Structure 1
Amino acid sequence: MNRREAIRNVAILLGSAVSASTLSALEGCNPKGPDNYALQAPETKKMLAEIVETIIPETDTPGAKAARVDEFIALMLNDCYKPEDQQLVLDGLKKIDDAAQKQFKKPFVDLNEEQKAGILTEIDKERVAYNKRENKKEKDPAHYFQILKELTLIGYFTSEAGATKSLRYIQVPGKYEGCIPYAKGEKAWAM
């Protein structure tokens, strides 16, 4: 099994419906990448770090920032996504920052956790409405927040911190147990 198949399987196991744009990005990479330097800019990475930490915050397990999911997203977008999808996400980051400026008169990265969560919750409602609209066409681009959320989940649960600290993990090779009892509230198993 290669990395792309593993990432796809993790996304499916997480119970999320991965968008077509994310799956198509996993199908092939341009080894050179499109060289979108805006994705590697320090302010972009800082913004991504705050967004992913708001989506998966640090609790008794490491958060997405500790798992360096922001770097994963920047790399995936740069190396695997089409330029128009990259621009969609970059424009989306600007929309998130604009929403923070409009509501709190501060950049998103300077907001407290509650304010960040409020902004992203509203944007997530917008994403749901966008995906459920009646005039949706198959070729329409994914919502930028859909891409960010999916890459956050994939990046986190395929990271060492996500797979070993947030999920139950037994290093392979291990014994095979076909039927393992599950008690409500236990962690899911890592692949």
Structure 2
Amino acid sequence: MNRRDAIRNVALLLGTAISASTLSALEGCNPKAPENYALKAPETKSLLAEIAETIIPKTDTPGAKEAKVEDFIVTMLNDCYKTTDQQVVLDGMKKIDAASEKQYKKPFVDITAEQKTALLTEIDKERVAYNKRDNKKEGDPTHYFQVLKELTLLGYFTSEPGATKALRYVAVPGKYEGCIPYKKGDKAWAM
């Protein structure tokens, strides 16, 4: 199975489609590419951790912070995304902080969980409108929040806590069972 198929399968497992731009970025991963040190800055990683934790908060299962999703996002952006796409995400993170300052007079990392959720919900509505707009052109960048959400989900559900605690996980299945009863509320299976 190639990387694209594996990631598409994870996307289907999560009940979402990963955008073509993210799939394209993941196919072009190059861990020897020059690093964008702005992504590795402590304040950037701190903001990424808060955004990811707001998307996947800790409940009875670990949240995105415990899964260290921010490290995954930084690695993926550095290794797999073009410099222009990295800048779109960095600029988007600045927009999130600016919106927080404007609305709550505090940086995003300092506002309450409810305020973070409300702010990201509004940004997600902006993302949906951006994706549905009529004046789309070939080559338009993917909305920064689309990238952040997709990488958060991918990072979380492929992490040890996400795969073993949020999903059902069998390390070494004993046999193939083509039909397993599903009860409402059961967790999805990890791959």
| TM-score normalized by the length of structure 1 | 0.96
1:33-44 → structure 2 map (5 Å cutoff): 33-44=33-44
Q: Give the equivalent residue in structure 2 for 1:68.
A: 68
2:48 counterpart letter in structure 1? L
Q: Which runs of at least 4 in structure 1 moved beyond 2 Å after TM superposition?
A: 1-8
1:130 counterpart letter in structure 2? Y
| Stretch of structure 1 that moved more, 24-33 or 179-188 | 24-33
CA deviation after TM superposition for structure 1 residue 19, in Å: 1.1
CA deviation after TM superposition for structure 1 residue 6, in Å: 2.5
Does 1:84 find its partner at 2:84?
Answer: yes
Give unmatched runs, 5+ long, in structure 2: none
> 1:119-150 CA distances to partner (integer Å, 9 max, x unpaired)?
10000000000000111123211100000000
| Stretch of structure 1 that moved more, 6-15 or 43-52 | 6-15
Q: Give the equivalent residue in structure 1 for 2:150.
A: 150
Q: Give the equivalent residue in structure 2 for 1:132.
A: 132
Contact 2:169 2:190 in 1 (8 A): yes
Q: Give the equivalent residue in structure 1 for 2:116.
A: 116
Secondary structure at 1:18 match in 2: coil
1:76 counterpart letter in structure 2? M
Secondary structure at 1:30 match in 2: coil
CA deviation after TM superposition for structure 1 residue 34, in Å: 2.7
Distance 1:105 1:115 in 2: 12
CA deviation after TM superposition for structure 1 residue 157, in Å: 0.4
Q: Give the equivalent residue in structure 2 for 1:107.
A: 107
- CA RMSD, 1 decimal: 1.2
CA deviation after TM superposition for structure 1 residue 5, in Å: 3.9
Distance 1:95 1:41 in 2: 17
CA deviation after TM superposition for structure 1 residue 3, in Å: 5.2
Distance 1:2 1:64 in 2: 26
CA deviation after TM superposition for structure 1 residue 4, in Å: 5.2
| TM-score normalized by the length of structure 2 | 0.96
Contact 1:25 1:80 in 2 (8 A): yes
Distance 2:24 2:148 in 1: 15
Distance 1:59 1:134 in 2: 39
| Stretch of structure 1 that moved more, 9-18 or 162-171 | 9-18
> 1:46-82 CA distances to partner (integer Å, 9 max, x unpaired)?
0000000000000000001100000000000011100
1:19-38 → structure 2 map (5 Å cutoff): 19-38=19-38
Query: Alpha carbons of 1:65 and 1:4: their partners in 2 closer, same or farther (altered >3 Å)?
Result: farther
Distance 1:25 1:154 in 2: 13
Contact 2:13 2:188 in 1 (8 A): no
Contact 2:3 2:27 in 1 (8 A): no
Contact 1:7 1:158 in 2 (8 A): no
